[in-house]
Structure 1
Amino acid sequence: MTQPTSAAPCACGTSRRRLLQGAGAVSVAGASAALLSACGGRSSPSAASTAADGALVVPAADTGVGSSTYYRDAKIIVSQPQEGDFVAFGSTCPHAGCAVSEREGAVLVCPCHGSRFDPATGDVVQGPATTGLTVLDVTVDGGDLLVRG
């Protein structure tokens, strides 16, 4: 890939180089779900569906104990820190709006600027984000999770 000759900022304050790097990150976004799922979840998470009351419905079996699953289309992350204890978060990073779509060891990671979040609470562990992920309500309904924001 040819590097741009100028690093002048675009209208949003991001250099062309950073923009192109971000575009490269977007091209691997599809692999991000597999990265999260590889940490104990299913290799291919099921698609989220919507219940009559508007709740997102995902299979509990998608997320193993100690793992997290990223649902790209629904823009949520589901974690199971302990057996039967499910938590969910909006995947939008509060720093710059990128999708928090990766898990590295014991933290959720935003691939754009490296913010790190606790998968059990959504709290920011390392910036540049200064606030945590949006916590969503999760209800276990048989083999499914109902996620409401």
Structure 2
Amino acid sequence: MSAGQECQGRLGRRTVVNAVGAAGVVAVLAACGSEQTGKTGETGKGGAADTSGEALAKTADIPEGGGVVFADQGVVVTQPKAGEFKAFSSKCTHQGCSVKGISEGVINCPCHGSTFDAATGAVTGGPATQPLPAKAIKVEAGSISLV
């Protein structure tokens, strides 16, 4: 085999390796962007899915005085008082971080320390200045779903 033929063979392999490499990067990036969480209320990556009518949780899963963040659905569900359920956007109005750590009637944003009232969504501590937008939910037969 001449030096020219050998060079062409390597160039062909490089082209194939580069093409496969690019496809591999695309596959990895696609996989990274699609991480999802279950209905445990843990926060995670992924876009807000349209789950209108689909049960988010059982009422027994939402602690009194606390709440659960459903990151995939973009909602936080709270139970400020026994049997009273509220829902708000899970995106902090300061810079869009996902809230978490709901306890003692307060929804917390871990990014910059904003806090919100679990019964109304009102700001109780900045830097956020706008309340969490309310979300419509339906509570029926021990189940909570988005409307």
Q: What CA RMSD, in Å, does the superposition of the two structures yield over aligned residues?
A: 2.3
| Pair 128,50 (structure 1): closer, same or farther in 2 beyond 3 Å | closer
Q: Which has the larger radius of gyration?
A: 2
Deviation at 1:95, TM superposition (A): 0.7
TM-score, normalization by structure 1: 0.60
Contact persistence 2:66–2:106 (CA under 8 A): no
Distance in 1, matches of 2:86 and 2:103, equals 18
Report the CA distance shift for 1:123/1:144 in structure 2 as closer, same or farther (over 3 A).
same
Contact kept, 8 Å, 1:75 with 1:91, in 2: the verdict is: yes
TM superposition shift of 1:64? 2.3
Partner of 1:123: 122
> Size of the alignment, in residue pairs?
102
Stretch deviating more after TM superposition (118-127 or 137-146): 137-146
Deviation string 1:98-130 (CA, Å, 9 cap, x unpaired) is 101222543111111111000111000011111
Give me the TM-score of the superposition, normalised by structure 2: 0.61
Contact 2:41 2:71 in 1 (8 A): no
Unaligned runs of at least 5 residues, structure 2 = 1-35, 43-48
Which 5+ residue runs of structure 1 have no aligned equivalent? 1-29, 31-43
Matched, 1:73 2:72: yes
Within 2, Cα distance between the matches of 1:65 and 1:96?
Answer: 28
Cross-structure match for 2:53: 55
Greater helix fraction, Structure 1 or Structure 2: 2
| Runs of 4+ off more than 3 Å | none
Identity within the alignment, %: 36
